[in-house]
Amino acid sequence: MKIYVIEDNPVYNTHVCNLLEKEGFKTVAACHIDTAKKLLAKIEDDDIVLADRRLPDGDSIELLRWMRKNDMLHPFIIMTDYGDVSSAVECMKLGSKDYIEKPLLKGKLLPLVRSIQRERERRTRHQVPIFTRQGEAYQEIKKKVRLVAVTRMSVLILGENGTGKEHIAQHIHARSKQPDKPFVEVDCGALQPSLAQSAFFGHVKGAFTGADNDKAGYFQEADGGTLFLDEVGNLSMDMQQLLLRVIQERRYRPVGAKEDRTADVRIIAATNEDLNKAVVEKRFRQDLLFRLQEYVIVVPPLRDCPEDIIPLAEFFREIANRELERDVKGFSASACNALQTYMWPGNVRELKQKIMMAVLHAEGDTIRMEDLELNLHESASAIDLTLKSDKEERDRIRRALKQTGGNKKLAAQLLGIGRTTLYNKIEEYGIKENEE
C-alpha cells in the first residue's frame, strides 16, 4: 500500500512522508495537481491519497473530482488549516474520506490510515473477489454503476442466475457516498413467510412465543448502508406491502414495538424473473415495482459476452491456483476453443466452478479440454436461445459471428438455429463481412 502525499510546501511534504514511512508505509510525493494526476495514473487498489486543501495550480477538490470521474475510488483525505475547516467539510460531502487539521495531523493521521486499512480488510473478507471485465456490455454496466452509485436511487438488477448481480450490487455500494456502512444481503427465496416480518424489521422481547430477547432486523443491520434484496420476486404479497410502506415513508416498526424507527437504507434489488409478468399474474405489486426500479441495470448472460470468457477463465485459474495450491499456467488451444463454444447456462458462476475443477484435475501445467468436463451439446439445449427481434437479434448474430471468426456453421450452432435461417437473417439485417 502506498500513500500519495500532495502538498506544495516541500518541508511539510517531507515531514508528512517521513511520519508515514517511519510506520512502514510507502509514500509518493507531489506538489502540484498536474504532477499528482500523472503519478495517480499508476495508482493501485490499496493506495490512499492525502492532499492539501489548497494547491498552487488549483483546489484539491478538482483532483478529487478528476479521480472519481476516472473511476479512482480510493480513500481521499484532506489536510487543511484552521480557516479551511468549513470548505473541507464540503469536500467530504463530495466524497472525501475525512479531513485533518494540520496542527493535529501527527496524532490523527496514523489512526485514520489504520482505520481505513481495517475497514478495507473487513470488506474484502465478505465480498466476492474483484475482477475486471473489458467487454463492451460490461463497460456499459460499469458506466451505469458509476452514475447511480453516488445517488440514493433504488436500483433493480436484472439477469439470469449466475451472472453476478450481487457482485454489481457490491460495486454500487463500494462506490456510494457511504461505502464504510454495512452491506446486508437478503436471500428473499429462503425467507419463511411467517418469519419474514421479524427478519426484516426485528422484534422486541416478548413480541411472540420464543422472542426471549430483542432482535435487530435487516433494516437495522443495514442502517446507513445498503440492503440488497436478492430474488426479490419471491417475497410474499404481505411482505411486499410492508416493504412498500418502508420505502415510501422511510420508517418501520419492529414486531411488538410501540414506536417506529427511521429507515436510513438504500435498496438494491435483483431478480432473474420477469416482474412485469408477475404483476400481470398478480404475484407482485406494481407500485412496489415502480419504487424498486428507479434505476435498472440489465446484466447480459455470459454467452452474449464472448470477449469476457477467456479473461474471466484466466482470473479464476489464478484464484484456483492460490486456493488449491497448484501451479497451472494456462489453457491449451482446444480448451480455449471449448470455453468459447460452450453456452454457459450457469453463466459466470458455472465458469468459476468449471475452472476450479479443471485446475484440480490438470495433470500438467496446462488445462486440457477434457479437464473442463464440458458437454457442448447439452449446454445449448439448457437455455432458451430463441432469437429476439430487431436490434437485440442483430447484435446477437454479430457477436456469434465474431466469436466464431465468421464461421457461419458454428455461429448457427451457437445461436441454436439452422444455417439457412442464419443466412436469411444476415441478409435481412444487411450484416457485412467486415462486421463479422
| Cα 407–chain centre separation | 35
> In the chain, where are the structural domains located?
2-126, 136-298, 302-381, 390-435
Superfamily of domain 136-298: P-loop containing nucleotide triphosphate hydrolases (3.40.50.300)
What are the DSSP calls for 42-105, one per residue? T--TT-EEEEESEETTEEHHHHHHHHHHTT----EEEEE-GGGHHHHHHHHHTT--EEEEGGGH
Q: Choose among 308, 297, 244, 306: nearest CA to 271.
A: 297
Which DSSP letter does residue 162 get?
A: T
pLDDT at 390: 61
Q: Quick one: cell of 276?
A: 412485469
Cα R_g (the chain), whole angstroms? 26
pLDDT at 207: 77
Q: Are 350 and 344 in contact (CB under 8 A)?
A: yes
pLDDT at 86: 61
2-126 and 136-298: identical CATH topology: yes
Summarised one tens digit per residue, pLDDT across range 71-116 is 787 888 888 876 565 665 666 655 666 778 888 888 889 888 888 8
Q: Which residue has the cell 452491506?
A: 183
Q: Quick one: cell of 70?
A: 476516472
Question: Which own/partner contact pairs does 110-118 have at CB distance under 8 Å and 24+ positions apart?
Answer: 110/19, 110/20, 110/23, 112/77, 113/3, 113/20, 113/25, 113/48, 116/48, 116/75, 117/1
Helix axes 85-93, 60-69, angle to 10 degrees: 10
Domain 390-435 has CATH 1.25.40.10: no
Residue type, 80: T
Between the two ends of the chain, the Cα-to-Cα distance in Å is: 44
**Buried-state track 393-429, b at ≥16 Cβ within 10 A, e below 16:** bbbbbbbbbebbeeebebbbbbbbbeeeebeebbeeb
**Alpha-carbon gap, residue 61 to 345, rounded angstroms:** 46
Low-confidence ranges of the chain (pLDDT < 50): 125-130, 385-389, 436
Provide the Cα torsion 345, 351, 356, 359; round to 10°.
Answer: 110
What are the DSSP calls for 262-298, one per residue? E---EEEEEESS-HHHHHHTTSS-HHHHHHHTTEEEE
**Alpha-carbon gap, residue 86 to 69, rounded angstroms:** 24
Which DSSP letter does residue 229 get?
A: E
Summarised one tens digit per residue, pLDDT across range 324-341 is 999 999 999 999 989 988
**Alpha-carbon gap, residue 105 to 255, rounded angstroms:** 47
**Buried-state track 208-243, b at ≥16 Cβ within 10 A, e below 16:** eeeeeeebebbbbebbebbbbbbbbbbbbeebbebb
Q: Quick one: cell of 200?
A: 426484516
Which DSSP letter does residue 185 get?
A: E
Q: Which residue has the cell 448481480?
A: 165
Enumerate residues 6+ apart whose C-beta is below 8 A from 110.
19, 20, 23
- Architecture of the domain delimited by 2-126: 3-Layer(aba) Sandwich (3.40)
Q: Are 157 and 299 in contact (CB under 8 A)?
A: yes
Q: Quick one: cell of 122?
A: 473487513
Q: Say which CATH class 302-381 falls into.
A: mainly alpha
